[in-house]
Amino acid sequence: MAVTEIHPITTTLNKALDYIMNPKKTDDKLLVDGFGCSPEIAFYQFNQVKKNTEKTDGTLALHLIQSFAPGEVDYETAHKIGIELADKILKGRFQYVIATHTDRGHVHNHILINSVSFKDKKKYHSTPNSYYYIRRTSDMLCKEYNLSVIENPKEKGKSYYEHSLDKKGQSWKSLLRQNIDRCIIKARDWDEFLLLMQREKYEIKSGKYISFRAEGQERFTRSKTLGADYTEEQIRNRIAGGKRIEIESSQRVSLIIDIENAMKERQKNPEAYKRWATLQNLKTMANTVNYLTEHNLLDYDKLSEKTEATRESYNGTRNRIKEIEKRLKTIDEDIHNIDNYRKTKPIADKLETVVFKERYRKEHEADLIIYSAAEKYLKRRFNGGKAPLIKELRAEQKSLQAEKDKLYKSYYSEKSELSELQTTKKNIDMILGRDVSQEQERSRKRSGELE
């Protein structure tokens, strides 16, 4: 699901551009692109179009924001959707700069649109009908990318999450695992566990296999289908604080046992436990146990090794993407200036032969400014030598873009995985009361031994 809004910018266009392209918000400008302009000099290029058409007053630009539901889309996909949205609604008539922000809980695109078209010189008029078209187009793109769209936005009483569950029929098991884990930690015996699950609004069906059904869920879920740790026998054993029954004899479950024993130890001091067992801490506990079980990271050293390997891979991928992005921006500037130079050189050359030079200069002021800027750029860029062919630059651009697209798939996957691993490791240190400084020292010693 994506929510859109648009508003005019009547002053400080340069500040708006600086804000949306903030490196801290756009992953060092990896998620910034432009159409009909270079993002770094878009302010001047926007203004040049207005000067050429003598439409410098009123609205300077339109600011379109497209916000996605938390956790529903990765940064690269959101960026692509934003570009497609801008291309569809503007139809190649208006320059724009798009930046995808990653600094909030939800991914969102900022699109700054020049208020004057560089194709037909007409101004962009924002009306209720044009906004409705933007919203419809955004919803259509969300459907194409298999993102949710709330069909009846007037329906009250349902959150986005509930709509998502209704449409996808997913996440019931994941949510059930979390609630079971949280209730096991809080429960002193089996009866209290069942009572706590009922308070979580689960209907419970006993029999050969215990089953649970959440509010709004169509069918019961047998707990044993959640994994070996969720059979009734294992749940009872976990509540009692006993050792797990080894269903997979070779599997180490030391971390899970340590976590549950730490909680049972905390419960021996009711007052201290009450202060610690906030809702947030209990949710953190349940999420941590779920993650360790689902990813088979049941040993602390194994978790640490996995975290470090993922960090190294992520940094390598990120650095290569930055190298490619830097080169692509340079190529884009080279092509832009070579093309401008080639188009405006005949106009500049003619200045030497015309009789009324001042009149000619005034009539062709914009082209002469562009020529002068392009000439200075090329002399500085290629040390006065010959510039490469645009054909060669586009071939390199295409090759680098293909490599970047491939790397991005790994980049976002590794970034998400690293974040989960680091959070899990931090939570375990907190739950078990580990001395982080001592653990870091042990890590340094292990690294030294390996060297």
Section 74-94 average pLDDT: 91
Greater confidence (144 vs 263) lies with 144
Q: Is 383 exposed, middle or buried (0-12, 13-18, 19+ CB in 10 A)?
A: exposed
Q: What is the dihedral of CA 227, 231, 234, 238, to 10 degrees?
A: 80
Residue 122: CB atoms within 10 A of its CB come to 13
Q: How far is CA 303 from CA 54, 295, 354, 414, 422, in A?
A: 63, 10, 76, 15, 9
- CA–CA dist 21, 100 (Å, integer): 9
Q: Is the pLDDT of residue 114 over 90?
A: yes
Q: Other C-beta atoms within 10 Å of 10: how many?
A: 12
Backbone angles phi, psi at 67, to 5 degrees: -110, 135
Please give the CATH topology (third level) of the domain spanning 2-162. BirA Bifunctional Protein; domain 2 (3.30.930)
Position 166 confidence tier, pLDDT thresholds 50, 70, 90: very low
The pLDDT assigned to 167 comes to 43
Sequence-distant (6+) residues with CB within 8 A of 380 are none
User: pLDDT grade, residue 83 (50/70/90)?
Assistant: very high
From the CB of residue 212, how many other CB atoms can be counted at a distance below 10 Å? 23
Domain ranges of the chain: 2-162, 172-298, 305-450
State the Cα angle at 295 between 292 and 300, rounded to 5°.
45
Question: Model confidence over 355-384: pLDDT tens digits?
Answer: 998 999 889 888 888 899 889 999 999 998
Neighbours of 416 (CB within 10 A): 15
Mean pLDDT of the 62-69 span:
89
Average pLDDT, the chain: 80
Side by side, the strands of the sheet bearing 61-68 are 2-9, 61-68, 108-114, 96-101, 32-35
Q: Please give the average per-residue pLDDT across 189-214, as a whole number.
A: 89
DSSP annotation of 201 reads T
pLDDT of residue 171: 58
What's the pLDDT score for residue 252? Answer: 38
At 211 the pLDDT is 93
pLDDT tens-digit map of 283-340:
666 667 667 766 777 777 888 888 899 999 999 999 999 899 899 989 989 999 999 9
Is 328 within 8 Å of 397 (Cβ atoms)? yes
